[in-house]
Amino acid sequence: MLLNHPFSVEKSAYGVFNHANNIALQGEVCFGHCFVADYDGNIQSVAQLIALIDGLFFLNPYIKHVQLPKSIWHTSTAWQAFIRAFHTESFSRLEFYTHPINGLNETKRPFFNGTYSERACPQRLINLTGEVYRRFDYELGQFISFKVADPSADLGLFYQWMHDPRVSEFWEMDQPKETLKRYLADKLTTPYHLPLIGYFNDVPFGYFEVYWASEDRIAPYYPWQAHDRGLHLLVGNDAFRGTRFFKAWCKAITHFMFLDCPHTQKIVLEPRYDNQRLLNQITKLGFIKEYEFEFPHKRAALISIEKVKFYKENFQC
């Protein structure tokens, strides 16, 4: 349902418009924060409608609610598809950004035929495959997406990144190709870890390893809840370093984790305690440093963010 090409929007006195497709989301604001949208028959797809709503929220932080009245929108096929997903014509900013339609490539998956042996944890779904998330970041002006890492196709890139001195300083995994291939393959045999490659406009830039905290080595070091998720990461493409890219990928990967499992209420990271570059950037996005602790292999900092705070800080919900 999501767009695969750039979709720029501009602010107008009555909403937003997209010149390339000659479409707009115009209307009036009621009660100081509720946007009631006028019908636009030029909107051809639900992807366009979602992109316009996203742009409207981005350019107008004071708008907290949108209504697409059935009385004037009912003939629109884009509106009909939107209603099939949302089941309502009236929704809040929070409802919009927490809905899977806003970035997640949903797939139906069976449960994994196995249980974690060390702790009592929920049964997990089998791992995802292919592209799992894609959104257009209006602030950056680029698409960001994540795909499940392929141990063969992505090996060259993974090897190159792991042998970058800036990466190996923290990951300490500058190993031979066969060792790194087995590492990725092992992550895909169970649902406890999900290895992803991140892309800006389909150019790979980093590696992200999503995990269930209860099934990870971090579990003994903090009071986890059943659906907490965690993250290991690296940026291997130097062209995508810097504050504006950090903000975009950090927001996107966290958004993906909260969308992928609605039960998840907390995201954690455990970087090395002296990774000051990461600590300085991530706290600007609402994450907090809870404390430092001793892993067997390093002294780490526990970094976390709660779901409500994430949406408040990053989507103005």
Residues known to be catalytic: 270
**Structure tokens that stand for 96 in this block:** 């919009």
Q: State whether residue 144 is helix, strand or coil.
A: strand
| HEC per residue, 142-183 | EEEEEEECCCCCCHHHHHHHHCCHHHHHHHCCCCCHHHHHHH
Cβ proximity of 269 and 279 under 8 Å: no
Kind and range of the H or E run holding 58: helix 46-59
Nearest residue to 29 (alpha-carbon basis) of 4, 48, 12:
12
For residues 136 and 157, what is the distance between their CA atoms, to the nearest angstrom? 24
For residues 172 and 138, what is the distance between their CA atoms, to the nearest angstrom? 35
Residue 315: what are its φ and ψ, rounded to 5°? -125, 10
